[in-house]
Structure 1
């Protein structure tokens, strides 16, 4: 290719320098991850050290494949391109096929169960709306922040604050009406739950194909959605096996803000129903590095940072009003994600793949919100 360029020597130097420059930028990230891995292994636990690497893998897969849950839904609505949604269906099917038998055979593993509640309905709807305005769900905010997208970097602390406030108010929302969580693996066994989940996913794929005019086909799907789904399913399954709980994002955000508010003397956990729970109260007292969700979130940021040198930043400048709308959406997204017991990861991916009925309620409510969020996004030129 260089022989077609007039200044062949200069072009060759530039092409050779680009990879070395990228590796030079990645070296500090690799050393930092290696140092943190070694410290966790020595001072904390092998489990937390391994979960850091799982998080790095998740961040790498999200960023390298640009596996955007928000974008996948938006391209389906705006362009009738179902590729992203099909990729998510593949992810759910693969992960369910691994997770459900694991839950049945290893009693120390737990499903991502959430109650069927008013807070779930309201939270999922508002979350779906706001994620389109903010251009990223929980995982999307993390990996895009790692890629250096300015809006998502600014949204990250606001998302954490919103998630914390949502947890503070959660008990009041649940008082409006809530039913006990329903776990399909517990109700039907691993085989029945997996069969029911795969049938439901198949019906969704048929419906998406009928609406978009493009039937599901492995051959016609962009490769990034397929290998991204495979990589995310494998790393998410490792998360369940190592941590004993499914992949989540939102709880870690809320915990970060809760610890900050407690340290500043602005919050008394003893007087709050959520944070006075023994498990949550213990995490408030411990280092963040002992929290499963926090350590994988840190890993996701590192994994996205690893991809960043070879991934051009596609963010465009925003006006002042666009910044305000985006930041407000990020804060509300954090609040609503706590009410909905998770985002696209914790509620949809982990919920459905581990047999929680609340995941199947979350999806249509969030999609309804997305339909409005896309209109708002278009209205303000976001």
Structure 2
């Protein structure tokens, strides 16, 4: 997660930490009473994701950046470890409970590959992927806070136009399953880990304790999310849904979009936000990251000085992040993490394209004025 710039300092105030934890617990219970135990549980899992990502200072963008610039493979290895653990549980669960659980499966196509590449570049510009932008915004990072609403707008727009893009050409959905699928997935992860070790600098195979903790906790939460929510951990759909609801609330018409007028999505737009599993997880991530930041010392941290062009770049990158992630059928979480963990071939292609895009984003960042001056 980027720490380059942050919102103004804010002290914890008069509430004790125990009081805040009690309020958060009451919120989860309240959601469970209003929308059902499942919704309350998913919100709690989302809080867990936010607590883990910010608490362990772990993400997906930063480790890729360090692998490219410093040949530090440790963060990428921790990600692969977490995905492998989830796969060991998710693939058998999907095979045994296909009617109740669904995987993060999507087709490989021209728009999907292009979207993943562009997403990889944009996430390095703002130093935040889908989950990273949520965590950065929740923890008081100004770049994340500015990028998040535009990410949501881009996600809505990308979904609105999705059919036009997929009509450019795509393959049928390809997904691994069962024992054989698990073996292939683990072999692929092991092969990617070996490649990272070969390309990484000496000693970067040693994972610090916080990486081990992050990998194990995130894997456990992801498995729990699949079981409770009935779907893998994802981010992007919820953000677009928030904007879709706002558009309808002000009298907008979504009938012109094949995606938003589809029965399931149209029903979700009309339903309570507390019934959407992805939205609950996203809100939980923001809240969990905010709790960690508040617990540590409020939201105080040095504020970097960024030129005007940098803030324009953040807004544009936020829009691009949302739009491209819809075309790519997910971000680092929904496509890379959950896609590979549930056997989707598109997750592997997404990783290659997004990692290549990250090279571009890393080189664009200084030119856009996003290396903060102190």
Give TM-score, length-normalised by structure 1.
Answer: 0.89
What is the 5 A alignment of 1:103-182? Answer: 103-107=94-98, 108-182=100-174
CA distance in 2 between partners of 1:24 and 1:40 (Å): 22
Give the equivalent residue in structure 1 for 2:63: 72
31-40 or 151-160: which moved more?
Answer: 31-40
Deviations 1:5-42 (A, max 9, x none): xxxxxxxxxxxxxxx96994645643442232222222
C-alpha contact (below 8 Å) 1:205/1:216 kept by paired residues: no
CA distance in 1 between partners of 2:104 and 2:138 (Å): 26
Distance 1:27 1:270, change over 3 A: farther
Note the C-alpha offset of 1:336: 0.3
Out of 250, 257, 262, the position equivalent to 2:248 is: 262
Distance 1:28 1:251, change over 3 A: farther
Give the equivalent residue in structure 1 for 2:3: none
Which stretches in structure 2 are left out of the alignment for 5+ residues? Answer: 1-10
95-104 or 344-353: which moved more?
Answer: 95-104
Distance 1:112 1:23, change over 3 A: farther
33-42 or 320-329: which moved more?
Answer: 33-42
C-alpha contact (below 8 Å) 2:146/2:314 kept by paired residues: no
Out of 248, 263, 269, the position equivalent to 1:278 is: 263
Task: Report SS of the residue matched to 1:270.
Answer: coil
Give the equivalent residue in structure 1 for 2:341: 353
Give the equivalent residue in structure 1 for 2:283: 298
Note the C-alpha offset of 1:215: 6.5
Give TM-score, length-normalised by structure 2.
Answer: 0.91
Number of residues of Structure 1 aligned to a counterpart in Structure 2: 356
Pairwise CA RMSD:
1.8
Rg bigger for which structure?
A: 1
C-alpha contact (below 8 Å) 1:137/1:343 kept by paired residues: yes
Give the equivalent residue in structure 1 for 2:40: 49
CA distance in 1 between partners of 2:175 and 2:223 (Å): 18
Deviations 1:200-224 (A, max 9, x none): 111111111111233774xx21111
Structure richer in helix, relative to its length: 1
* Corresponding position: 1:60 with 2:60: no
What is the 5 A alignment of 1:1-382? Answer: 24=15, 26-27=17-18, 29-107=20-98, 108-185=100-177, 189=178, 191-214=179-202, 217=205, 220-266=206-252, 268-309=253-294, 310=296, 313=301, 316-382=304-370
CA distance in 2 between partners of 1:233 and 1:363 (Å): 18
Give the equivalent residue in structure 2 for 1:16: none
CA distance in 1 between partners of 2:174 and 2:23 (Å): 41
Distance 1:269 1:27, change over 3 A: farther
CA distance in 2 between partners of 1:175 and 1:269 (Å): 20
Note the C-alpha offset of 1:379: 2.4
C-alpha contact (below 8 Å) 1:29/1:305 kept by paired residues: no
Which stretches in structure 1 are left out of the alignment for 5+ residues? Answer: 1-19
Task: Report SS of the residue matched to 1:200.
Answer: helix
Distance 1:78 1:262, change over 3 A: same
